[in-house]
Structure 1
Amino acid sequence: MDVIEVRQLHKRYGTTTAVDDVSFTVGAGEVFGILGPNGAGKTTTVECLTGLRTPDRGVIRVLGLDPRRDRDELRQRVGVQLQESRLPDRQTVGEAMDLYRSFYRRPADGGRLLEMLGLAAKRDTQYRRLSGGQKQRLAIALALVGSPAVAVLDELTTGLDPQARRDTWDLVEHVRDSGVTVVLVTHFMDEAERLCDRLALIDSGRVAAIDTPAGLVARVGAQQRVRFRPSVPLDERLLTDLPEVADLRHHGEQVVVTGSGTVLQAVTSVLALHHVVAHDLRVEQASLDEAYITLTGRRTAR
């Protein structure tokens, strides 16, 4: 069952079109990603979705509610972690949790939520004393304190160190496993590939494609690249004559063979037959990054 439906969403700021007829649906229990570079229209889309901004036209339904007409009810059922969110420096974690719990009819147990997110020991710590990762975990906790059916998380790992990013990813998976539908806004390919069941690729305010991460990669082909440094000069025809090989190129001392099917086995068998050692051998599949570039013509962060 779809819990979110967006049809022909359009939003302009003066002469600039931020969102241009965007359409998508989100199923119950999904982690649905909105992926694109900064300025692509991602944040405007979710701000319209959550009733924080009024679109110029289009139809939006979240849990059957209209974000404009049913704004108060929607806020009871949708948790939001915004890209730019900050609490007063001297407010403690516990004070923030108690304040946000007061906003909801059926709030979650604040103590259990802080425990789940690894913040129980920080209950009396002021916001300014938290690390970047702790601030992000607190933002997620505050998005979940109303026991929402849907959580919208906007660029939640920007600026975090690698370990904090991975810890945050674990939290998102835990939220999804608890039955909450998640809309994840990101410009990081690895984050989208790790977390999202489906993705909408957005570029210049338009949806370029919607599919699973694997489905998006499959759209740009199933070819593989085999990279290696031969131990002795190589007669290229040994490899280019193989039916599995589509292309062979040199990058300095490296040979890069592109092909499909069992190209790796075919190449390594020929090399072994002719006593050529493949140093630094690597096999590369098509990536989500390549799919994004192919489908939108633009590059975003890895």
Structure 2
Amino acid sequence: MANYAIIVDLETTGLDSGRDQIIEIGAIKVDLDTGEVIDQFQTLTKPDDVYGFFDDEDEDIEDSDVEPDRLDPFIVELTGITDEMLEGAPSNPEAVEAFFQFAGDLQIWAYNAGFDSKFLNNHTEEHRPLKDVLALARRAFPELENHKLSTVAQQLNVSVEGAHRAIADCLITKEVLLRGIKYQIENPHPFHHGFKASDYLPKEEGIFFGKIIVFTGALVTMTRDGAATHASQFGFKIGSSVTKKTNYLVVGIQDLTTLAGHDKSTKQRKAEELIAEGVKIEILTENDFIKMCGIAT
């Protein structure tokens, strides 16, 4: 089963998602096992109608009370994107919709994902969860002075040529992601192969919004990360431990060498204790989980 993921990067008019807008979206489809870029998506995107373009010969410009917005010179210098390049480009909602069509159902990664997520969510009902490469880099490389993309890339001897254009930043992020994943697989403690429950935000429109799901053991048809991504899409909050608030526990294959002589994980034993006390927790197999969420495998 191919282990594909999407890496996305945005260029924007500024840092405030409540005021600023997107000027470029770039994304790549990556095989996380081989590092191969399978496909890519790139579009410039014109901010909304407040951001106006006027021809020099436009007869109405002298009579207009609207002063057309222009890109900040700093943004032009940083990205190389000019006002003229955005003329005729699709709107932000059109560009975001096209990106999500490209991404399909694959998990989406971004560097400082909260930033990209806020801008994307301004123009879509999807509200897809984005996995954060920055969070992974912080956990994998805690000794760095800071965790800017350029700093981490430099530490890993990754070229930053072309930085601050969307596709170039995606390619840099890919290298950080792949090396971060490799590092954590080789150094699994105290990390669980990069899995952190709080990285996944439940989709409010999901049919299970308000419910908490917890995973234990290894899954066969998908990674824990993939399962959590799917679950959050359906509205689940991903729990890191079993409590009285837990609604579902998905039990995968247990590594007996880590169970200290028990035949069940701590999470499963805790769930069974709470069930015996009258707490309503449903224990699911991986197949139960797949059927419940209608996941295609």
TM-score by length of 1: 0.24
Higher relative contact order (CA 8 A, sep 6+): 1
Structure number with greater Rg is 1
Judging by fraction of residues, say which structure has more strand: 1
